[in-house]
Amino acid sequence: MLEAGVDLVTVGVFSWAHLEVGPGDYRFAWLDDVLGRLTSAGIGIDLATATASPPPWLSTLHPEMLPMTREGTRLWPGGRQAFCPSSPIYRTYAAHLCRQLAERYGDLDGLQLWHVGNELGCHNALCFCDVSATAFREWLRARYGAVDALNDAWGTAFWSQRYTDFEQVLPPRSAAASGNPTQELDFRRFSSDELLANYVAERDILHEVSPGVPVTTNFMVTEHIREMDYWAWAREVDVVSNDHYLVAADPDSYRELAFCADLTRGLAGGGPWLLMETSPSAVNWQPRNIARRPGELLRSAIQHVSRGADGVLFFQWRAARAGAEKFHAGIVPHAGTDTRVWREAVELRQVLDAVAEVAGSVVHNHVAIVFDWHAWWACELDSHPSVDVTYLDRAHALHRSLTDAGVGVDLAHPEDDLSRYDLVLVPTLYSVTDTAVDRLLAAAEGGATVLVTYFSGIVDEHDHIRLGGYPGAFRDLLGLRVEEFLPLRLGETVELSNGWTADVWAEDLRLAGAEALATYVDGPAPGVPAITRHTVGDGSAWYAACRLDRAGCDGLVAMLLAEADVAPIAVVPPGVEVTRRTADDGQSWLFVVNHTDEDVVVEAHGLDLVEDRQAEGHVSVDAGRIAVIREM
Ligand code: GLA
């Protein structure tokens, strides 16, 4: 580890079965030894509370703590994280273990961070057992007070679903027809809250017994996982930390990484955060686990740093000989240290040392994309107009167009004060609260340019349609009214009057104050506006009523940037990322990550910390390489 320059190690994540070999029978000698060795080597410790996966003796004693699927199948132990998040048995035993560890190691030299559980909600986010049912009812009682308030919110007049007592309410288990959408939505809110409660219970013990040591739990901000409302979670952690793994099937997976890193920074309030896990090369849990290409480790790590991470950790140190993850890469591969992966990890450490001065700096952007887990859940409920409308699609598309334009972007909650941005993008925000509507209106009136994309503002937080024509929440903002959705067939495209192409979606849209910037040439609504603009106060509100292809999305973003007067950080070809971090004293650093096979030249003034060379007007970045410029 010293040879690789490792200075922080996560320890003990899945070690409950080794630490507590029977109820209250704790064995710490082996952990004393490991922590002692790390401490004497001067390596920092991120100590897990080890509650991520209960040991077999516990589920044997209490099989009622095992989770249950939507269909009613009890999941067996044998994998990991086999517990119901609402289980009082789990919570009691986890709290005991957490307290034991805090008391034993809470003031250990070298303890830098507490790591609660692990990826809470990985595998067991939604549990449908009777214990969960009881907890769900409690949560609903607290939310609604009276059962008739629940009936109103859930629209139970429909399909004879009216409840006369909370005791009749169940989790949304597998049913004969489409379930109640608001029940499903509330169950997702409840499930996120239950997992968060597990975190908070352990955090409070750690704060009490081990004061002064920050506490985190590793988030999973990734396109694979959507069950946790991390805006709510971010308020409870001392340090935002995230795990990110590349989507192997996507040859341009660095784009999803960039989006997730920006979203993680949003969760951290714009400030620094920690990359808690990524893989040194291939993972083992995707269908085809693609090894990282030469140089990719450095590029990925610097992408995270460029978007606000102040540290980069890996899963895992040594590739395992046995167990389900034995084909998952480690910094020390099965082949040992005479390997490319090892050498690239050592090189990464050298680069991180060279750019260490960026730690503590933040990212300020003029553009925001609005993002909300509740809207994600609601948008993808079943029985909707088209299965082709998915939540992340437009968010990713807009992020990609901005990145290719060399423009940095923040991810913001819809109820944030958005008026500090010049350009605010609202992709597929299907459900929206009145507060969020006010925030967007205020931003536009104050001079911002706002873009809303289709299937936004359709329902309130109970998933009730906002009546009077779509998008009910944004009709006034956008100056238009949609009479009917006109989703397209699979593969069908429509042409727009300005030469752009779209698919998936169109609408029968009437102007009510807005102007049409483009209309449909063909498809289900020829002549009807597809792209509109509405002057609002000192700003404007634009609407995209269809799913633009890449060129159209790039074209629209270029127009929006021009109207909002947002300049790029630098002009770059697609596949080259530029980002900027800034310190309190005004010192800034320009990051360039070249994902392409061509060398590029980027405008820059200052010192390239990676190559230790002056950039006087420009920096040349080789194919697949990076630069970090301390700007003059
Ligand atoms: C997650 C877990 C790790 C490991 C990796 C594999 O991030 O936290 O324990 O399973 O996935 O990629």
Three-state secondary structure readout of 392-439: HHHHHHHHHHHHHCCCCCEEECCCCCHHHCCEEEECCCCECCHHHHHH
SS3 617: strand
Backbone angles phi, psi at 224, to 5 degrees: -75, -25
CB distance 621 to ligand 1 below 6 Å: no
Asked about 380 being catalytic, the answer comes back as no
CB distance 315 to ligand 1 below 6 Å: yes
Looking from the CA of residue 245, the nearest atom of ligand 1 is: 12
Which residue has its alpha carbon closest to ligand 1 atom 12?
283
CATH 2.60.40.1180, the chain: domain bounds? 576-631
Q: Is residue 264 scored above 90 in pLDDT?
A: yes
Q: Give 41-89 pLDDT, tens digit per residue.
A: 999 999 999 999 999 999 999 999 999 999 999 999 999 999 999 999 9
Q: How far is the CA of 83 from the centre of ligand 1 (A)?
A: 17
CB distance 404 to ligand 1 below 6 Å: no
Asked about 119 being catalytic, the answer comes back as yes
Looking from the CA of residue 118, the nearest atom of ligand 1 is: 8
Q: Is residue 388 scored above 90 in pLDDT?
A: yes
Question: Can you give the pLDDT at residue 271?
Answer: 87
Can you spell out the DSSP letters for 477-537?
HHTEEEEEE-PPPTT-EEEBTTS-EEES--EEEEESS-EEEEEBSSTTSTTSEEEEEEEET
- Give the total residue count for the chain: 632
| Residue 379 assigned as binding residue | no
Catalytic residue among 277, 296, 344, 611, which? 277
Q: Is residue 620 within a helix (H) or strand (E), and if so which, with residue range?
A: strand 613-621
Locate tokens 């906002």: which residue?
A: 466
Q: Is residue 256 scored above 90 in pLDDT?
A: yes
Can you spell out the DSSP letters for 563-588?
HHTPPPSS---TTEEEEEEE-TTS-E
| Residue 129 assigned as binding residue | yes
Domain 576-631 has CATH 2.60.40.1180: yes
Q: How far is the CA of 294 from the centre of ligand 1 (A)?
A: 22
Q: Give 343-370 pLDDT, tens digit per residue.
A: 999 999 999 999 999 999 999 999 999 9
CB distance 328 to ligand 1 below 6 Å: yes
| Residue 284 assigned as binding residue | no
Question: Can you give the pLDDT at residue 443?
Answer: 98
Domain at 367-564: CATH code: 3.40.50.880
Which residue has its alpha carbon closest to ligand 1 atom 11?
315
Question: Can you give the pLDDT at residue 138?
Answer: 98
Q: Which CATH superfamily is domain 1-239 in?
A: Glycosidases (3.20.20.80)
CATH 3.40.50.880, the chain: domain bounds? 367-564
| Residue 285 assigned as binding residue | yes
Q: Give 616-630 pLDDT, tens digit per residue.
A: 999 999 999 999 999
| Residue 189 assigned as binding residue | no
Locate tokens 């929440």: which residue?
A: 473
Catalytic residue among 119, 202, 256, 296, which? 119
Q: How far is the CA of 218 from the centre of ligand 1 (A)?
A: 10
Contact present, 433 and 461 (Cβ < 8 Å): yes
Q: Give 280-321 pLDDT, tens digit per residue.
A: 999 999 999 999 999 999 999 999 999 999 999 999 999 999
CATH 3.20.20.80, the chain: domain bounds? 1-239
| Residue 260 assigned as binding residue | no
For the residues 539-562, what does the mean pLDDT come to?
Answer: 98
> What letter represents residue 412's amino acid?
A
CB distance 84 to ligand 1 below 6 Å: no
Alpha carbon distance 119, 289 (integer Å): 21
Q: Is residue 167 scored above 90 in pLDDT?
A: yes
User: To test the ligand 1 pocket, which listed residue (46, 241, 243) has its Cβ within 8 A of the most ligand atoms?
Assistant: 243
Torsion, CA 196, CA 202, CA 208, CA 212, rounded to 10 = -80
Question: Can you give the pLDDT at residue 553?
Answer: 98
Q: Give 83-142 pLDDT, tens digit per residue.
A: 999 999 999 999 999 999 999 999 999 999 999 999 999 999 999 999 999 999 999 999
CB distance 589 to ligand 1 below 6 Å: no
CB distance 118 to ligand 1 below 6 Å: yes
Question: Can you give the pLDDT at residue 547?
Answer: 98
For the chain, what is the mean pLDDT?
98
Instruction: At 270, list the tokens.
Output: 């714009």
Q: How far is the CA of 315 from the centre of ligand 1 (A)?
A: 6
CB distance 277 to ligand 1 below 6 Å: yes
Contact present, 255 and 396 (Cβ < 8 Å): yes
